[in-house]
Amino acid sequence: MVRPDIVRLYKSLHTWTGIISGMALFIAFYAGALTVFKDPIARWVSPPSPGLESATLADAPRLIEQVLRERPQASREFMLYLQEGENVPAPLAWRELPAGAQPSGHDGQGNAQHFAARITNDRVVVEQHTPSALPEFIDTLHRVVGLPKDIDPYRRVMGVIAALYAVALVSGLIVLLPTLAKSLFALHIGPNLKRMWLDAHNLIGLASLPFHIIMALTSIVFAFHDDIFAIQDPMIHGGKLESIWRGPALAAQPDVQAKPVPRNPADMLPPAELLAKVKAIAPDFVPKTMQYTQVTGPRATVRIWGFDDKDIARSDQGGLVRVDPYSGNILDTELLPGQQSPAAVTLTSFFTLHFANFGGAPVRWLYFVLGLAGAFLFYSGNLLWIESRRKAERKGQPMPVQTKPARGIAAATVGVCLGCVCGISLSMAAGKWLHGIVADLAAWHMAVYYVVFFACIAWSFYVGAARAGVHLLWLASTSTLAIPLTSLVAWAMPSLGLWAYGTVAPLGVDATALAAAVIWAWLARMTARRVVRGRTDSVWALSRSPSL
C-alpha cells in the first residue's frame, strides 16, 4: 500500500502542476478537440470558388509549366490538388515571400503570400488567393496553448506545460492508487458538490488515462524534437544526422554543386504518369495532394500525400511517397501507407494516435469527446482546489470573505476557459461576416479571438467568478449559436454575400455548434441556480458586495 506521507506529497505535486498548467491545457484541449475537425471547419468557412472544376489531371503539365515560367518563386514548392473540397480553391497553389519579407514561423513561410492558378476559358489564370486563416488559427491555439503563432519559442512554452501535465498525470495516479478500486465506480451525485466534482474528476481522468498519456508524450515530442535531435546529433550520431535523414536512395541523388545548372521543368514527367507509377506499387493508396519541391534543382522531389484505408498514416495530410519527378523513380516508400516497414508503422502509430487519423469518423468523434472531457478535467481540477481552500461559515460569525488566491484562481479559471470558448466561436462566425469587408481577415480572426478572450478575463475579475460564470456561459451559448445562425441567414438571404453549403462536412459544423449552444445554455441555467441557492460561504455565491 502507498504510505500516507507519500500520497500527501504527490497530492501537493498534482495540485501545483495542475493549477499552473490547467488553464493553458484547457485551451489546448478545447481547440484541439475542434482541430480534429479542421477539414470540415475549413470547408465551412471557405467562400465559394471554382475549385477543381476548371482543370483535369491532363491539363496539369501545361498549368505547371506556365506557372513556373510566370512566377519562378513557385519552383521552390507548389502543391497540386487532386481531391475536391470547398476549401480547395484551384488545382495549383504555392506561396511566395514578397520582396524584403523575413522568413518566419516553424517552416520559414510565416510571412508568405498565397497564390493559386486555374484554367479559365482555356487560359492559365494566376491570382493571389488567401486560404482561410481560421482552421490554422484554431490549430495554432491548440499547438501553442493559446499563444498567437506556431514558432519554436512558443512551442517550448507548450512543451513546459506538457511536461507539467505529464507529472500531473503520474502524480494524480499515485494519489488515486490507495483507493483505486473504490474510486473506479464511485460517483456520488448529491448535495455534497465537492464530492461529486471530485468523483467526476477521478472517473474521467482514470477512464481517459491512455488518451492523456498519449497526448502528454506526443506534445512533449512536438515541442522539443528539434532540440533533442540537436543534442543527440553530436552525442550519439557522430554529427551525421543530416545524412541519416536523407537515407540511401536520396543520398544517391547528386550532391549540390557550386553552381547547379537549373533544370527545365518541362522535362518533368506528367503528374498522371507519376501517379500511375505509385499505383503500380500501392494499388490501395488514394493520393490527395502532390507537393513538388525544388523542381529546378538537382534534388527535385515530389511528395505524393494520401491515405490508404487499410493502413495508418503519419499526419493529417496522410502518408507519403517520395518520387523523382524527372525520372519517375520512387525514392522512398518508408511512409507510404500499405508499404511501411513494421518499425515505420510503429513510429507512424505515435503520430496517428495524436492526430486521430485512423478508424475513420467514429474515432474522430471519440477524440473530440475525449478532448472536451480533458478540458473538463482541467476546469474541474481548479474548481476542486478552490473548494478545498473554502473558508466555511461559522454560526454567529460574519460571512467569511474567501481568500484572495481562491477568488483570483476562480476568476481566472472562469475567464480563461470561457473566454477561449467564446473567442473561438465568435472568430468562427466572423469568418463569414467579415469576408470581403476587411482587407486582412487573418488578422481579424486573431483580433476577435484575443479581444473577446481578454474581455472575458477582465469581466470575470471585475464581477467575480460567480456572476461571471453565468454571464460567460450565456455568452458562450449565444456566440456558438451564431455559427449555425450565420449559415441560416446566408441560405435565407443570398444577397448578403454570405454562403452556406449543404454538404455533409459544413452541415456537421453547423449541427455540432447548435448542439453545443444548447448545452452551454443548459449549463448557464444550472450555474445561475447554484449561485443563488447554493452555499453562501463560497466563491461561487453571489456576495453581498459587488466586486471581488
Query: Under the rule (CB under 8 A), what is the footprint of other proteins?
Result: 3, 5-6, 9-10, 12-13, 163, 166-167, 170-171, 216-217, 220-221, 224-225, 228-229, 231-232, 235-237, 241, 244-245, 247, 334, 341, 343-344, 346-347, 350
Residue 228's contacts (CB-CB under 8 Å, 6 or more residues apart) are none
Contact predicate 307/282, CB 8 Å: no
Q: Please, which residue, 244 or 493, has the CB nearer to other proteins? A: 244
Nearest-approach distance from CB 109 to other proteins, in angstroms: 24
- Cell 518533368 identifies what position? 268
Q: Which is nearer to other proteins, 221 or 485 (CB)?
A: 221
Nearer CB in complex with other proteins: 127/226: 226
Closer Cβ to other proteins, 235 or 261, answer by number: 235
Give me 294's grid cell: 525544388
- Cα–Cα distance between 277 and 64 in angstroms, integer? 19
C-alpha cell at 317: 495530410
Closest CB 449 distance from other proteins, rounded Å: 30
Among residues 10 and 444, whose Cβ is nearest to other proteins?
A: 10
Handedness of CA 214, 216, 222, 225 (dihedral sign): negative
Q: Minimum distance between the CB of residue 346 and other proteins, rounded to whole angstroms?
A: 8
- Which residue number, 213 or 519, has a Cβ lying nearer to other proteins? 213
Cell of 411: 476568476
What's the rounded Cα separation, in Å, for the pair 452 and 446? 10
CB of 442 to other proteins, least distance (A): 33
State the DSSP H helix or E strand holding residue 60, giving kind and residue range, or none if neither.
helix 60-70
- Dihedral angle sign, alpha carbons of residues 145, 148, 149, 151: negative
Supply the minimum distance, in Å, between the C-beta of residue 167 and other proteins.
Answer: 5
For residues 76 and 73, what is the distance between their CA atoms, to the nearest angstrom? 6
Instruction: Give the single-character DSSP code of 185.
Output: T
Name the DSSP letter for residue 124.
E
Q: Which is nearer to other proteins, 222 or 326 (CB)?
A: 222
DSSP class of residue 437 equals T
Which of residues 6 and 256 has its CB atom nearest to other proteins in the complex? 6
Question: In the complex, what is the shortest distance from the CB of residue 235 to other proteins, in angstroms, rounded to a whole number?
Answer: 6
Distance in Å, CB of 447 to other proteins, minimum: 35
What does 501-535 look like in DSSP terms, one character per residue? Answer: --SHHHHHHHHHHHHHHHHHHHHHHHHHHHHHHS-
The minimum distance between CB 510 and other proteins, in angstroms, equals: 38
Cβ 220 to other proteins shortest distance, Å: 4
Cα 333 to chain centroid distance, Å, stands at 28
The grid cell for 339 is 508499404
120 CB contacts (<8 Å, ≥6 apart)? 50, 54
Q: Which is nearer to other proteins, 186 or 221 (CB)?
A: 221
Q: How far apart are CA 170 and CA 173, in angstroms?
A: 5
